[in-house]
Amino acid sequence: MVAAGANPTREKGGSALKRLKNSLKTAGIIGQTSRASLSKKDKKRGNPSEVGKHDRAEKLNLIKGEMNPFEMKVTNTKFEVLGRKVKGAVGKPALTKQVGEDNRKKTLLKEMKNKGKAGGIMDKRFGEENPNLTPEEKMLERFTKEKQKQTRSTSLFNLDDDEENLTHYGQSLANMDDFDEADLELSDSEDRGIIDPNTVSRSHFGGFGEDEEDMKNFDRPKSKAEVMREVIAKSKLHKLERQKEKDENDDVRKDLDDEFEDLRGLLDMAKPTARRPLPSQTSVYGRVEDERKDKELDEAAQKASAPTVEEDEYEDYDKFVRELAFDQRARPSDRTKTEEEIAVEEKEKLEKAEKARKRRMDGLDSEDENTPESGRRSTKGSANKKRKRAPQGDDLDDDFEDQEALQLGHGLTLEDIMNANGEDEDGSEEEGESGSEEEESEEDEGEDGADEDSDIADLKSSDEMDFSEDEMNEIGTNGKIVKQNGKKAKTAAPKKKVVPDNYEVPYTFECPSDHVEFLEILEDIRLEDTHTVVHRICVMHSIKVAAENRRKMEKFFTVIVDHIAHLAATESPMPVKIIGRLDQQLFNLAQQMPQHAASVFIERLTNAQNSYKEQLSVTSQFPDIKTLVILRTLGHVFPTSDFSHPVATPAMLYMTEILAQAEIRSEVDIGRGLFLIQLLHDYQILSKRFIPEVLNFINLSLYLLAPVTTQSKITVAFPLPEYARSQNLHIKETSSASPQPLSASALLTDKLGRDSIKAEQVRISLVVALSKVLEAYMQLYSSTAAFVETFQPCLNVLEAMKSVDNWNEDVKTNLNNAYDRLKRQVKFGTEKRTKQPLRMQYHRPVPIAQYVPKFEEGYSMDRHYDPDQERAQFNKLKAQTAKERKGAIRELRKDNMFMAREKLKNIKEKDARYQKMLTGVMTVLEADQAEKNELEFQKRKEQGKF
Amino acid sequence: GSRKDQDYKDTIQRIKVLESGLGDKSNLNNLVEIFEIAQGSHGGLTSAAIHALHRVYTTLLLKGELRRLKKEESAKATVSNWLRDNYNSYIKFLCELLRHEEPGLQKPALNILITLLKSESEFQTSLRKKHSFANDFYVRVVDAVLRNPNFSQPLQAELLGKYLNVYDDLRYYFFKNTSHLYCSDIITSALESKDSSEADTPKKKKAKNMSNEKLNMLMQNTFSVLEGIRTMPTAGVEIDEFWTGHPDPEYAAKAKEDPDAFADSSDEEEEVAKEVAGKKGPRKHMLVRLSVHKKALQTCWLAFMKMPLSNDLYKKTLLIMHKRIIPHMTDPRLLMDFLTDSYNAGGATALLALNSLFTLIVDYNLDYPEFYHKLYRLLDANVLHLKYRSRFFRLLDLFLSSSHLPASLIAAFIKRMARLSLTAPPAGSVILIAMIYNLLKRHPSCMALIHRDEITDMETDVFDESNPDPYTCNALNSSLWELQTLAEHYYPNVATLAKIFTEQFTKPSYNLEDFLDHTYGTFLDKELTRKRKKDPALAFEKPTELFPSLVKVGATDEDDETANDNLEDPSAVKWSLWAF
């Protein structure tokens, strides 16, 4: 038993005496007793050791019980297993039994008694049910509750409650009364275990009488007056300190000022060199300078007129500050870049874009900084950075620049001026060209267009900053500042003009929101000037000028797309140059609104697809010129080499669908198909992706065009639709006509009737064109693995076609060329292949999967290491339910036993009561009988019977 | 307008008066007058009149007053003969109305005819004390319907939805009458062809053309009705709806009382059971037996198939054959010749016949020699561009699913499919890729097709494309270069999918169903409606010209070489082909 008792002792640690001391301390029987010394946790919990704070006897009893080794029950373990924790090895059966019994008495017994009874009184008094609270605490809590209830019921504006209204520094004075710093030097949490000297001196060793008075003094709460005095003293002290600090600072500053005078001489402030304004700042600087001069003049005038007392020692300083403000700062290196530098930059930019494109072509995500749009963003960012040069040590004020911008005044911003200039200048240039040299050679015109458009591109595209600088430079070198946009140019323009009727393109336009409006604008404008108008609208309503222009420009983008289609469909001959320029404008605009551009083109594609699906056009299933031109521009706006592109991919799908499925009914259809094929070639010029439909179409078209006798000779190794055998598009007279360039107006637009096409001629031209395009594709796919198989059908067709005897000489050479070339390529491909067999499964051998045993750090028997998470959780749940079940059964059993006991007790009580009643009655009866007997005996005795 | 309305109302009123007057026998001439109104050009009046006549004739018919009597002398006979004549012309008129251009008149005419058929049959039943069907009447109706030049959608719907698909007897007799009609028609056409061979006078040719047109129309009509019949019974108990009354009233009653007794056993079993029981009861009525219905359908379809079908009808027939005809035939082997011929025809027809042929091979023990040879031959360049592509490949997958097929055969199919992928639309390519993968996975001996370590010293590809025999075309020694080209396909999905061949074959197999039902349209829809999260990438090179006559080629070494090789760069002259 002793050994058993020793075990838990060891676990608790310390000797029995120590433990006793400890428990006494925690019970609050020895050591400090103030409530403040209790930890917050204990307070909250209502620590059970507080039970019966005041009757020591009870507490001591409890401790005695805890310390009694005979109440402990220890179960010996047979084997010690490392790392295993056994629960319930030590227990106090008597105590737990008692606790259970008590709890049942409180709950179950009550219920038993109330069984079958309705009604009763519910005790809702605070803390009545909590056995952990002492009666004092209960009373206290009740009191606070009561108080809270009252305050809650009174409104905020209750003036009667004047206790709360007295404040000082926003704090209630009532609280201040309790404010005794001296007593509370140790915070609540820190003072556990440390007994404050007060207590020690008062209570330890019984306390000493002589200190009684002192203590009284010390302990006495300070009066209000005393507190206020202390507060005032403190604030005075602070004030003094601050003043002292300020004086010191002043001294230092004075010293600095004195020394600065020397420095100033070094800086050579007296004669600031008249700095030539930077070219890029000419306009701004000029104005600022003017204003400053004006101001100075004003000031001087003022000074002269009314010299006041104000102009004292500070006037000097102010002037100096102003000088500093206008002083030239570190001179920015605004030199124009050399051509080499520009070229290098340009090259780098292109290289970057090309790298991104290649990545996209391989189907990878283009690296973030490499994507054009993010690239644009980053360059823009750097541009911004450039504008705001890094802050330097001698920067006086960072706001300075902003201030300058503000001082521009007149509601004009830098951008405004920039834009106005750009537009203006372009306009005048335009005038010069379009006016004077109408019959300029085509190439020149093209170049010009490219030039000026590249300017625009700069304006639109990434390097806004660069552009603005350049522009400013130009203006600066010219030494002129154009103030208002329209007038000067307008006056200048007519001089250069040679056009007789004073024709002139207006400078400003409303931004048209749909195509009809745009057509109205264009009513009085020559066709050649369309792109000028478009350009001016773009500049006028540039997104960079105002944010709300974005919506306008988005609409205008749609308008341009519409107009391109419109031009292609209505003008004859097709104005390729103009459409080309509009195409460039479209390209520029798209750079600013990629999302919108995509959605516009997607919409067009959807329409085209729908009209194909519903067979809206009766004459031809192939797309009309509008769609063809839009597909052309689409290929310019979006990169067609991407592995997958949201716009280019569906566009290609649409084109191939047409090529594969649309029925070829006439030469027009073949012409349009040819156009599509050439477009696809342009699309794939970089990525060289394989398009089966193209070769199928070429084969089929050649098959259809072949003379009747030749057609039957062709080995058909390509898909041949059912209608093909009955279609009559054969070339009848092979030798009649020589091939001509294909007429776009005849083949692509529906306007000219079928009769106007000289059928034979067109057919022969188509054959030549097809063979040429086939050659182009041959070259495009020259490196593909299955070149031989891919072009075998074409070879068959070409062989049959060239074998026709009486071809026109041109046709013959063309077909022969194509055939020979294909033959050579096929041979080359076969040879290449025999050298390199197909090895598609050539990759590193993949190692066999291994399962290394898993070692667990700090393995414990009590934990389960199930790798299957679900199963582990299930098992855990199962164990928990089993445990709970057992516990519940045990509890229920105990409950039953308790109830049986109680019932028995009741019965016994009842029996006892009955017994008692019965004995009582019997006693009375016996007494009566005895009396009666006595009486009778007496009577008989009296009668003298004896 | 109002006068016409008034006239119309008056005439309607007149019809009513005349009809009510017919209650009395002395007013029988009213019939003639109503009939005259019916023959007028006004649709509404015709409709009203034929309905009125219908009511009158039905009562007369049920009273038996329309019977043609033998004794010609008696006044009663004269009257009933006269009535009969009028009735006949009325029926004739109704049949003509079926060919009316206006579906609004066709429908009531059909309804009246079929109702009259019911009345006639009931009358005959009551007369003979035995169930009878007025087929001579029905023949006229069927004939009128099938030879109808204006066979309209509503009429077809009415006929099928209300009658043929509902009532078993109507359907049975329809089959029967149709096959009779065809037998006679075949004879006439044969005669005609004989005539035309003897002498081809233009007049006769014209007549022949005319009759050909008529024949086509007849077949078209027949097919549209036959195609619409979807309620062929599959068990004896399903035959329970009769337009002219149940032929076995007792049997019907029994069945109603004790439905379980008959529900489970099939028709044949029942019959056998009855025979074993020693002919306990009388043999079931013809119309209740399933085999009779099946037989009728079979003869009808066979008769139809013997006709010179147009290409369109031929395909349509093949299309529904395996699901809607073969299961309802008593002896599907009769179709063998038809199907074999179709299969040998090649092209789309063969594809369509394949399904039915497969059913015959599997379920009816048809032995088809050189099946795989023909299957191999079916794989030509057109197969991927046909509408029935998915149907064919579903079957092909099934045929090639056995792992016991020789590797040389499988290799031939793989090589052929790879070859086809070079001319296939993207939707077809994905099917082929998935299928080739599955085949390679199933037959690892074919892996040499995509991976070969030793260098073959043969000059050209050993695979003989023109060889129609899959066993001897030597595909196993070839390689699938086509797949490498497919990996460069312009459509990213195809390209990505084609790249699986260069990776480990870890996936057990691709589910072919995921790839079968794509088209250009579905691909495009998917691409066009795709959500764009990021900004789409933009071209960075500014376009110089709309149609550059000289296209800049990326200055790689390879291109330079080729450009040097050929003095004339084809891409450079490309757009100069056009004169804008």
A664-678 pLDDT per residue, tens: 888 888 888 998 998
Helix, strand, coil content of chain B in percent (nearest 5): 65, 0, 30
B267 SS3 class: helix
Q: Which residues of A touch B429 (CB under 8 A)?
A: 692
Beta bridge pairs of residue A171: A168
CB-CB neighbours of B418 under 10 Å? 26
Task: Tell me if B453 and A837 make a contact (CB, 8 A cut-off).
Answer: yes
Residues in chain A with CB shorter than 8 Å from the CB of B459 are 830, 834
Contacting residues of B for A354, CB less than 8 Å apart: 540
Task: Measure CB to CB from residue B452 to each of A597, A742, A838 and give the nearest one.
Answer: A838
Distance CA B164, CA B146 (A): 14
Considering only CB atoms, which chain A residues are within 8 Å of B314? none
Which tokens sit at A92? 């106090």
Give the gap in angstroms from C-alpha A680 to the nearest C-alpha of chain B: 10
A786·B479 Cβ contact <8 A: no
Q: Which residues of chain A neighbour B539 with C-beta distances below 8 Å?
A: 587, 636-640
**A348, A610, A838: best mutation site toward chain B, by most B Cβ within 10 Å?**
A838
Asked if B570 lies within 8 A of A778 by C-beta distance, the reply is: yes
Residue of A nearest to B501 (CA): A840
The contacts of residue B480 (CB under 8 Å, 6+ apart) are: A838, A840, B414, B415, B418, B436, B449, B450, B501
pLDDT at res. A190: 46
Instruction: Please name every residue paired with B578 in a beta bridge, in sequence order, or none if there are none.
Output: A742
Q: Which of A466, A383, A461, A474 is nearest to A426 (CA)?
A: A474
* Chain B residue nearest residue A839, CA to CA: B451
Are the Cβ atoms of B492 and A793 closer than 8 angstroms? no
Give the C-alpha separation, A883 to A864, whole Å. Answer: 17
Distance (Å) from the alpha carbon of B338 to chain A's nearest alpha carbon: 23
Q: Do A660 and B447 touch (CB under 8 A)?
A: no
pLDDT tens digits, chain B, 580 residues: what are they?
567 778 888 888 888 888 887 777 777 777 788 888 888 777 788 888 888 888 888 888 877 777 766 666 677 777 888 888 888 888 888 888 888 888 788 888 888 888 888 888 888 888 887 788 888 888 888 888 888 888 888 888 888 888 888 888 888 888 888 888 877 766 566 555 555 544 445 555 555 666 777 778 888 888 888 888 888 888 877 777 788 777 766 665 655 555 444 444 444 444 444 444 444 445 677 777 888 888 888 888 888 888 878 888 888 888 888 888 888 888 888 888 888 888 888 778 888 888 888 888 888 888 888 888 888 988 888 888 888 888 899 989 988 988 889 999 999 999 999 999 999 999 999 999 999 999 999 998 988 888 887 766 555 677 888 888 888 888 888 888 889 899 999 999 999 999 988 888 888 889 999 999 899 999 999 988 888 888 888 888 788 777 776 444 433 333 333 333 343 444 445 677 777 6
Report CB contact under 8 Å: A789, B481. Answer: yes
Q: Which residue of A has its CA nearest to B423?
A: A692
**Nearest Cα to A104, choosing from A888, A907, A897?**
A897
pLDDT tens-digit map of A609-625? 988 888 766 678 888 88
Q: Which residues on B lie below 8 Å from A741 (Cβ)?
A: 576-579
Residue to substitute from A463, A581, A604, A690, interface B, most B β-carbons within 10 A: A690
Query: Under an 8 A CB cutoff, do A789 and B419 touch?
Result: yes
Q: Which of B389, B433, B478, B481 to mutate to test the interface with A (most CBs of A within 10 A)?
A: B481
Mean of the pLDDT values across residues A625-647? 89
Beta carbons of A647 and A638 less than 8 angstroms apart: yes
Nearest neighbour of B580 by CB, restricted to A574, A639, A719:
A574
Token pair of A799 as six digits: 């062989």
Model confidence at A695, in pLDDT bands (50, 70, 90)? very high
CA-based nearest residue in chain A for residue B531: A646
Which of A786, A835, A841 minimises the CB distance to B422?
A786
Show the tokens assigned to B408: 């040389």
What local confidence, expressed as pLDDT, does residue B121 receive? 85
Size of interface A-B (CB pairs under 8 A): 277
- Residues facing A742 on adjacent strands: B578
Q: Give the closest of A653, A741, A830 to B577, CB-based.
A: A741
Q: What is the pLDDT of residue B287?
A: 78
Nearest-Cα residue of chain B relative to residue A373 = B537
Contact residues on chain A for B501, CB-CB shorter than 8 A: 840-841
DSSP letter assigned to residue A742 = E
Chain B residue whose CA is closest to A658: B520
Q: Closest-CA residue in chain B for A716?
A: B381
Task: Provide the sign of the torsion angle of the four alpha carbons B37, B39, B41, B42, taken in this order.
Answer: positive
In this predicted model, which residue has the larger pLDDT, B399 or A459?
B399
Contact A833 B426 (CB under 8 A): no
Is B570 in Cβ contact with A779 (below 8 Å)?
A: yes
With a cut of 50, say whether residue A489 has pLDDT above it. Answer: no
Q: What are phi and psi of B281, to 5 degrees?
A: -105, 175
**Cβ contact B535–A594 (<8 Å):** yes
More confidently predicted of A831 and A187:
A831
Q: What is the rounded distance in angstroms from the CA atom of residue B287 to the CA atom of residue B252?
A: 12
Q: Please judge whether B520 and A657 are an interchain contact, meaning their C-beta atoms are less than 8 angstroms apart.
A: yes
- Look at A373 and B537 and tell me if their CB atoms are within 8 Å: yes
**Among A373, A656, A691, beta carbon nearest to B535:** A373
Q: Is the pTM of this model over 0.90?
A: no
Within 8 A by CB and 6+ apart from A134, the residues are A50, A51, A52, A53, A54
The secondary structure of residue B265, as a DSSP letter, is S
- Interface contact flag, A776 B458, Cβ < 8 Å: no
Assigned token pair, B234: 């599959």
Do B117 and B167 meet the contact criterion of CB atoms below 8 Å apart? no
Tell me the residue length of chain B. 580
Structure tokens given for B221: 């009509």
How close, in Å, is residue A411 to chain B by CA atoms? 35
On whether ipTM exceeds 0.85, the answer is no
Q: What's the whole-number average pLDDT of chain A?
A: 73
A587 closest CB neighbour out of B479, B480, B542: B542
Residues in A touching B424 (Cβ below 8 Å) = 692
Distance from CA of B306 to the nearest CA of A (A): 25
| CA distance, residue B435 to nearest chain A CA (Å) | 17
